[in-house]
Amino acid sequence: MLTALLPSERIRVPLGSHSRHALFQELLELALPDADPAMLDAAFQGVLSREAIASTAIGDGLAVPHGRTNAIDGIHMSAGIVEGVEDYQAPDGVPVRVCVLVITSETAAGSHLKVLGRLARLMRNDALKQALFEAKDAAAFAAVLARAEAP
C-alpha cells in the first residue's frame, strides 16, 4: 500500500531543508512534481492548517506532516531523512530525522486516514525506525518500507 504511493522518486536522502516550513515545501515539491505554484501553495496551506492544530512530529525522531486540499486529486506522499531542523521537535524533545508527508484531496478523507493509520502501525516497530534512520539513499529508504510491508 505505502510502497505504491511512495516510490523512490518521491524520497530524498538527505532532505536539504533547515526549517519546518522549508521542509514542508520541499516535501510538497517532491510529492507533487508537476504541480503549479498555486497548487503547491494550496497544499502548503493544507499542511499548515493541520500543523496549527498540533505538531505532526510524533516522537522518536519521526514526523508525519499531512493535510488535505481541494487543489489536488487523490493521495500523494513523499519522505526523507532530515537533519538540523531545530524548529520541528516532538513533545519528547527529539529532533525530527525521518519525515513522511501525506497530502490528499478533501474528498479522499478515508484514504487519508488509512494511510496515516498504516504509517502509525509501521512506525511502532523499533527495528523499522532504526533501518529508516540508517538509510543512505532513497532506494535504501524505499527498500526498508517494502520489506516492512511484505507479507
Task: Say how far apart CA 18 and CA 24 lie, in whole Å.
Answer: 11
CATH architecture of the domain covering 2-149 = 3-Layer(aba) Sandwich (3.40)
Side chain identity at residue 87, one-letter code = D
| pTM for the whole structure | 0.95
What are the sequence ranges of the domains in the chain?
A: 2-149
pLDDT at 110: 87
Helices 109-123 and 138-149, packing angle to 10 deg: 90
> Nearest Cα to 20, choosing from 68, 69, 89?
89
Percent of residues, the chain, with pLDDT higher than 70: 100
Does 1 score more than 80 pLDDT?
A: no
